[in-house]
Amino acid sequence: MLKDNGDKIPDDKKSAVEAANNELKEALKGTAADAIKAATEKLQQVVQDASQDIYKAAQEAQAAGQAGGAEPGGDADAGQAEEAKKDEGPIIDAEVVEEKKD
Mean pLDDT along residues 61-86: 61
Question: For the stretch 15-36, what's the b/e string if a residue is b when 16 or more beta carbons lie within 10 angstroms of its beta carbon?
Answer: ebbeebbebbeebeeeeeeeeb
The residue that leads in pLDDT, 11 or 48, is 48
Average pLDDT, the chain: 78
Percent over 70 (pLDDT), the chain = 76
Nearest Cα to 44, choosing from 36, 34, 55? 36
The residue that leads in pLDDT, 66 or 70, is 66
The predicted structure's pLDDT at residue 82: 58
The residue that leads in pLDDT, 93 or 19, is 19
What's the rounded Cα separation, in Å, for the pair 75 and 82? 12
Q: Are 8 and 54 in contact (CB under 8 A)?
A: yes
